[in-house]
Amino acid sequence: MKATFVSSWDNGDSIFKTSCDFDIETKTVSNIESVDVDDEDLYYVDEEFIELPDGTIIKDFTNADEDTVYIDGEKQD
């Protein structure tokens, strides 16, 4: 399904929302639209999550584009 990838930076001072594909069964996000943030003064990411069309927030998911796992909105190393 189409969804929104949300990235919150610097205590929520900068929030970026882009389109993505989300598989609700596997909790996998892919095809995240990129955003040009070169002109932004960003220091640290607060959290990243998926927002479904009905407003549901998903904070535990796998990012297939980067082969990374997120738990409670935080990227796991």
The domain of 15 spans 2-75
* pTM summary value: 0.88
Higher pLDDT, 55 or 36: 55
Our count of domains for the chain comes to 1
Kindly report, residue by residue over 3-48, the tens digit of the pLDDT: 999 999 888 788 899 999 999 999 999 999 988 777 778 888 899 9
Other residues' Cβ atoms within 10 Å of the Cβ of residue 17: 13
Q: What is the mean pLDDT of residues 60-64?
A: 96
Contact status, residue 67 vs residue 77, Cβ threshold 8 Å: no
With residues binned 3-state (H G I as helix, E B as strand, rest as coil), the percentages for the chain, rounded to 5, are 0, 50, 50
